[in-house]
Amino acid sequence: MTKITDLKVVNKHLNYDRVSLVNPSTSNYIHIAAEIDKKLTPFFLTTSSRKKKLIAQCKKWCKELEKISGVIEINLFKATIIPPGLGEYVKENSNDVHIAKFDFAILIETHSEKVCEELKNKNIYEKMLEHIKRVASYTNIMSAYNIRRINNVNHKKKGVFLFNYFSAKNRQQNLMVWEYTAGWFEEETELDNSTLLFPLEEENAKYSIINHCRWDKYIDILPSLIFKKTFKKYVLDNFYANNVGAQPILYRVI
């Protein structure tokens, strides 16, 4: 576990237990995020016909890709809401940080980096990626491994899924402040799972890390983000003090 001795801590009077971590997964991942329907509000209430067609086609391609030896699972996600939590660091660096409005995402989990590379070379994967890029106004593809884990994210059970797109001046600082603040989510939202994705190609990654987790219902997470003052004082203020910005988006599995 990363030491937090170099962490810049604000509002020290607020004390939450350190996050409960298990050993990271040995899996490797490909995370694909795309902006299909441009939204001016935090709510993704409608789905365009072109996104419906894209999702239907991607589901077919992903079923074929799941047959590849070494692929553990592939899940598709459709965004439902952008919750409170956009970091001030992101707002102040909007010229350098892409404001995430990814309304469609795919997460591919494999047994190894080698399997990921084999998958990327498949015609079906190349065709799928080409089609997503053609339909989307913006895409982000990140190959990653799991660097921190509260527990596995269960995609077989319906629920509310988060992808939190972090930006930071320093990735180690990002990791430290995530560890420091994740205990808040365990206590205030009863979070019991999380897979923190760290980019394999750090220099080319648009986001420093991506956090992925799940709750059963919106009521498990949204009221805490909206009404609990400690969310800003303990979580967001410590992000900002450490030059870290979060961009959370909530999804449902398709």
Domain residue ranges of the chain, discontinuous segments joined by +: 28-253
Write out the two tokens for 11: 């509002």
pLDDT tens-digit readout, 132-144? 999 999 999 999 9
pLDDT tens-digit readout, 22-51? 999 999 999 999 999 977 688 888 899 999
Q: What's the CATH number of domain 28-253, 1.10.340.30, 3.30.70.100, 3.30.2320.80, 1.10.8.100? A: 3.30.70.100
Question: Phi and psi (nearest 5°) for 176?
Answer: -65, -45
Q: What's residue 40's pLDDT?
A: 67
SS3 107: strand
Q: Which residue is associated with the tokens 């009863």?
A: 190
CA distance 102 to 82: 10
**Cβ atoms of residues 194 and 213 within 8 Å:** yes
Checking if the pLDDT of 253 tops 70, the result is yes
Task: Give the pLDDT band (50/70/90) at residue 1.
Answer: very low
Name the β-bridge partners of 197: 146, 210
In eight-state DSSP terms, residue 22 is: B
Tally helices (H) and strands (E) across the chain: 8, 9
pLDDT tens-digit readout, 207-240? 999 999 999 999 999 999 999 999 999 999 999 9
Q: What's residue 2's pLDDT?
A: 44
